[in-house]
Chains A and B, each alone.
Chain A
Amino acid sequence: MSLFWQTLICGLLLGGMYALIAIGMTLIMGVMKIINLAHGALVMVGMYVTYVCFHYWGIDPYAALFISMPALFFLGCLIQKYSINTLIGKESILPENQVLLTVGIMLVLTETMRMIFGSDYKSVHTSYTGSSFFVGDVSVSIPMAIGFVIAMVFTYALHIFLTKSDIGRSIRATAQDKEAAILMGVNANKITIITFGLGSALAAGGGTLLIPIYYLFPDIGHAFVAKSFIITILGGMGSTMGALFGGLTLGIAESFGATYISMGLKDVVGFVIFIIVLLFLPGGFKSLTKR
């Protein structure tokens, strides 16, 4: 039985951090209706910011959240303002030229980091890295537990921000119907910039929380794009709570797949769920709550 609980705890904790990264993607997807393939690269840049903070200035990774997230918010705003927004409304052969642009941004970010830091694997070693406590027979990793709690706090804060604040409501209005939002006096241009910044900051947050348990190299982003994409589809585009449940579902499913099927087929479990959801619940978890 302890194996079952061990599996559940591992999946749940990891799923919480996946969710935070995916929420960033789902926000951007909801408002701009584009798939941001640079999302993983933004996670990676956020992780490097944290790494630099820790390695050169000795700042604890969790404290570095206050640096990496604003830094990525700023970077995200710049990317949206000076590259993606300039493409909106341009005629092109492919309607998805913004998606192609995000691929370009991903490559630029990845190769820039490779130029600065090289291809070496980096990791951050704090006093609590690799430490754990035991609940009965089940080992709970301390950095994973902290990461999970912080991720949940951020998710809740974001939820409050989106439902209660003025900017948050404008973001939701733009996501629901851009034309109508503009007619109501929402500055859609500004909103897209803020949304992209917010999405990037959440990506950085997720990356920073992962750094005490994982490692870092310039190409690490690809894995996160795939995972966030699955989670976004699971949860339903643009839904924060959907992404949260999507993240937890994916984390737990992967973990159970690894324990009871095979560790080698862990990713297959994620993709099978993805296909099942697309077939039987095309709107994601979101469509279950709304009629």
Chain B
Amino acid sequence: MKTISKVFFVLLLSVLFIGLSYTAQAKEKPIKVGIVLPLTGPKAMFGEMEKNSFLMAYKDLGEKTVIGGRKIELLFEDGQGKPGIAKSAAEKLVHKNKVIMLSGGYSSACSYPIAGAAQSMKMPFVVSTGAADKITTQGWKWVFRGTAAPASKYTGALFDFYDKVAHPKTAVLMYENTDFGTSSAKGFRQVCKKKGIKIVFDEAYEAGAVDFKPMLAKAKKSNPDTAYCISYVMDAALIATQTRELNWSCPFFVGGAAGWTMPEFLKNTGGAAQYIASTTLWVPNVAWPGAKEYYDNYIKKYGKKPDYHGAQAYATMQIIADVLNNAKKITPKDIRNALLKAEVSTIMGLIKFENWSDEFGHNYTNQNKPTTYVVQWQNGKLEVIWPEAAKSANYVYPVPKWNKR
């Protein structure tokens, strides 16, 4: 009898306990946000930087991450930098983990299929980095891009620099044959045609090559006034060192963001980075509140310098927290409405999701209007040289020959 009552008591207690914890859970069920990033594979370095930045922003946002007693929970999923896997990772987050919105993506090649999946699942997707034009030109209502400009618009400040300072007549265009690369190249070609700059050499390449000299030797032969080259970080480093090996001194060699602004680029070029310019979307010394703090804190915490990719992730987290706080109810539909109305002040400036068209007839949906900069590596530091109002150092143009650098 005694044992039976004991068993009964334990049973009763456990039922009570389960019941209690269940109600407690229901009340504090977290708001899940799914983030797909390349955490393994060749692009893992960027994925790590973005993940770190998401987490930093999450911590810095403090009480903003708790909405009506429910905590925001970030669920990271590895997309391995492969489009197919990134897409299924997003679908898994939605169907299995029951997230309420999606973010991340990193590369254009991965962001695009995630965006397509998000549109068909009616799930808001806030793109952090993927810049290919086509992500926001499909008229997809559930896809929002605030922290990245369309790839063809990275060159805004650069063309301004060309118009006012460099006046190039001929240009060379080299790009990796990915979504981001081809999209950027297309934009560059269109603007060049409009401005009467002749493209004398135009070639795509496969990322990860050991030897870029066949391409660079041909580019050198065409003797251009300027060169625009869209590459990821290690290709960029090899291209920079190999232009020096070939003794090709282009008067103004410009990288198309992505790898060209990374601290790793500088580290791996061994001096060949000197005076190479690049377009970029963000620099630590921009005037936006929090930018400098983010940069310093990141270095303090992770012992590495972040570049614009990290800032994009940080700003994306700021956007996510803002819309979740402003959404009427925590449902995908209300979050989408909040995104449409959002005007968020981030470390990348004020971000609004708007519908607009450019002079080439592309219609963008839910796309923030871009701010771009031209930066130049000067003595191991990345200096802003254009626009004039934001500059941190004077531009060096035309760039001296290799033996004088």
Instruction: Flag A179-196 by CB within 8 Å of B: 1 or 0 each.
Output: 000000000000000000
B70 at the interface (CB under 8 A from A): no
Q: In the complex, which residues of chain B have a beta carbon less than 8 angstroms from the beta carbon of A121?
A: 45, 233-234, 264, 268
Instruction: Flag B32-63 by CB within 8 Å of A: 1 or 0 each.
Output: 00000000111011011000000000000000
Known: A132-B245, A262-B203. A3 touches B48 (CB 8 A): no
Query: Contacting A123 at CB < 8 Å: which of B45, B205, B214, B237?
Result: B237
**A interface residue count range (under 10 / 10 to 19 / 20 to 34 / 35 or more):** 35 or more
Query: Contacting A213 at CB < 8 Å: which of B40, B210, B271?
Result: B210
A141 at the interface (CB under 8 A from B): yes
B292 at the interface (CB under 8 A from A): no
A89 at the interface (CB under 8 A from B): no
State A62–B247 Cα separation when bound (angstroms).
Answer: 26
Q: Are A266's CB and B205's CB within 8 A?
A: yes
B378 at the interface (CB under 8 A from A): no
CB distance from B230 to the nearest CB of A (A): 13
A10 at the interface (CB under 8 A from B): yes
Query: Contacting A3 at CB < 8 Å: which of B205, B209, B218?
Result: B218
Q: Are B268's CB and A3's CB within 8 A?
A: no
Q: In the complex, which residues of chain B have a beta carbon less than 8 angstroms from the beta carbon of A6?
A: 213-214, 217
Known: A14-B211, A139-B246, A141-B245. A120 touches B45 (CB 8 A): yes
Known: A130-B245, A139-B246, A219-B41. A255 touches B206 (CB 8 A): no
B204 at the interface (CB under 8 A from A): yes
State A2–B78 Cα separation when bound (angstroms).
Answer: 47
State A262–B217 Cα separation when bound (angstroms).
Answer: 13
Scan residues 95-131 of chain A and give those whose CB is less than 8 A from a CB of chain B: 114, 118-121, 123, 125, 129-131
Q: In the complex, which residues of chain B have a beta carbon less than 8 angstroms from the beta carbon of A267?
A: 206
Known: A114-B40, A139-B245. A123 touches B210 (CB 8 A): no
CB distance from A272 to the nearest CB of B (A): 14
CB distance from A268 to the nearest CB of B (A): 9
B244 at the interface (CB under 8 A from A): yes
State A213–B208 Cα separation when bound (angstroms).
Answer: 13
* Minimal Cβ-Cβ distance residue in B for A266: B206
CB distance from B275 to the nearest CB of A (A): 16
Q: Are A215's CB and B268's CB within 8 A?
A: yes
A65 at the interface (CB under 8 A from B): no
B241 at the interface (CB under 8 A from A): yes
Q: Are B218's CB and A130's CB within 8 A?
A: no
A59 at the interface (CB under 8 A from B): no
B270 at the interface (CB under 8 A from A): yes
B177 at the interface (CB under 8 A from A): yes
Q: In the complex, which residues of chain B have a beta carbon less than 8 angstroms from the beta carbon of A136?
A: none
State A114–B211 Cα separation when bound (angstroms).
Answer: 25
B215 at the interface (CB under 8 A from A): yes
CB distance from B299 to the nearest CB of A (A): 15
A263 at the interface (CB under 8 A from B): yes
Scan residues 194-237 of chain A and give those whose CB is less than 8 A from a CB of chain B: 210, 213-215, 217, 219, 223
State A265–B41 Cα separation when bound (angstroms).
Answer: 23
Query: Contacting B209 at CB < 8 Å: which of A134, A139, A262, A266?
Result: A266
B272 at the interface (CB under 8 A from A): yes
**B interface residue count range (under 10 / 10 to 19 / 20 to 34 / 35 or more):** 35 or more
Known: A123-B237, A129-B270, A132-B245. A263 touches B45 (CB 8 A): no
Q: Are A130's CB and B45's CB within 8 A?
A: no
A162 at the interface (CB under 8 A from B): no
Known: A123-B268, A125-B270, A130-B245. A264 touches B210 (CB 8 A): no
State A134–B244 Cα separation when bound (angstroms).
Answer: 13
State A203–B9 Cα separation when bound (angstroms).
Answer: 67
Known: A121-B234, A210-B210, A263-B205. A258 touches B215 (CB 8 A): yes
Interface centre among B48, B213, B238, B242 (most CB of A within 10 A): B213
State A8–B119 Cα separation when bound (angstroms).
Answer: 50
State A118–B214 Cα separation when bound (angstroms).
Answer: 32
CB distance from A223 to the nearest CB of B (A): 6
Q: Are B245's CB and A263's CB within 8 A?
A: no
* Minimal Cβ-Cβ distance residue in A for B264: A121
State A239–B244 Cα separation when bound (angstroms).
Answer: 38
17 further interface pairs, Cβ-Cβ under 8 Å (given A119-B44, A121-B264, A139-B246): A6-B214, A6-B217, A7-B214, A114-B44, A120-B264, A123-B234, A125-B270, A129-B270, A130-B244, A141-B245, A215-B234, A215-B237, A217-B45, A219-B42, A219-B44, A259-B217, A264-B206
7 CB-based A-B contacts, threshold 8 Å: A10-B211, A14-B210, A131-B245, A139-B245, A219-B41, A258-B214, A266-B209
B residues with a Cβ closer than 8 A to A are 40-42, 44-45, 47-48, 177, 203-206, 208-215, 217-218, 221, 233-234, 237-238, 241-242, 244-247, 264, 267-268, 270-272
A residues with a Cβ closer than 8 A to B are 3, 6-7, 10, 14, 114, 118-121, 123, 125, 129-132, 134, 139, 141, 210, 213-215, 217, 219, 223, 255-256, 258-259, 262-267
Closest 9 interchain pairs by CB? A119-B44, A263-B205, A258-B214, A264-B204, A259-B214, A263-B215, A132-B245, A130-B241, A264-B177
